[in-house]
Structure 1
């Protein structure tokens, strides 16, 4: 017997609820998830620790320690499914469902196959017609569709996924991909190696992308590791004009130029060895 569970986002975190299935549907749901898992893992040759700035190739999976809030999923493995609250089918839209999952035994262990879930899968949000005899009738009862793919597999205390953006719709992964706060931006602008003409204007220009770069540069301790003159020389070697005044890097005022400078500081601009072409990358993985 296969049980289908829903991950519901509440004010206090994730809660697991059971989705009651008619007996003929249970085996079919299990087969769907199992087939999707096989497709998810097909051709995977390597598992890569996710560092926040790497997009996997087709033969790679990203791996992180299972987030703390995933403990409610692990607890489901040993729980009696009947003891869990059921989804309120008549009030489906208010349940805050973020994901669906099944538990699949693998030898003496278990793996959890997880689909993302969005409001677009609720059939009650739209007019749905189904064939009855030779004519179509309107679906009047609440309903939903399963996704075509799983988004992640959890096993052995690890969460494995391919798309960070899709996986974060299910789990709170903010701690893995941070952007600088206003306080961190203020401290950054006051760094001895930088000259920011107008901190208030800089904060207005600092969109999410710039704030993520500020956080990454600060975390990597770039400005404390490399002298300003060395930074300017290295930038010039890539054709990037970095202005220096009184021993400080002049931070441009326009958003495009700011991003160019900060991407360079974050090792996000490189020159190809053969073609000498310059590229911007937001996906980096260190070669050991």
Structure 2
């Protein structure tokens, strides 16, 4: 009975989450005359790709390409910094270790956005001349995603026996060798999960990308979608078409790496 209730609840939640997505996809395929019919037309309309053509003509594919570069750069930088940091937190004792770890944990909400830090970040970046550059957003995204990556990877390192480190050191390996030859291969699932979380968080970021970059050639996906909300109203067709296109890379990642995400999070952030 409990299994049936759990399955039913899961189906209801899945349906509630899929309805807006399906509605947006259908809206993106409607001509302007069908968008404002009342009662709304769900399936009885002639599909058109005019909205997608309008979005592509606006340069949205370039925005997606730029965003992919931002996200890949963020993932590489975040994982490169997070792995040795997690290794140090888990394997070594040093002054203020617990305090710094608590600071990392307290900073995890940054991965969901940091509107409260927007003004000081903008002031600092402006004074340093770092705004409106190709590295501006990857730098901010890396700072946002790094605490979550450290926490996920550290949780996995807690499950790796220290005896492996000691055996490698006894064979003459340095700490860097232990990190590269022992820790890295055994923490691939956590690295994958942290990388996917960093990619998705960077892809969906809106506030910093709207303020820190105003060059159209450097504009990522989310502000590009917002451009279809004009002063005189929303362009629902292009708006939903661009949103649908922006969802596709995320869906591909979760389809290809879904098991890796579950494995990495189960061994990582859920532990302890």
TM-score (norm 1): 0.21
Bigger fraction of residues in strand: 1
TM-score (norm 2): 0.21
Larger-Rg structure: 1
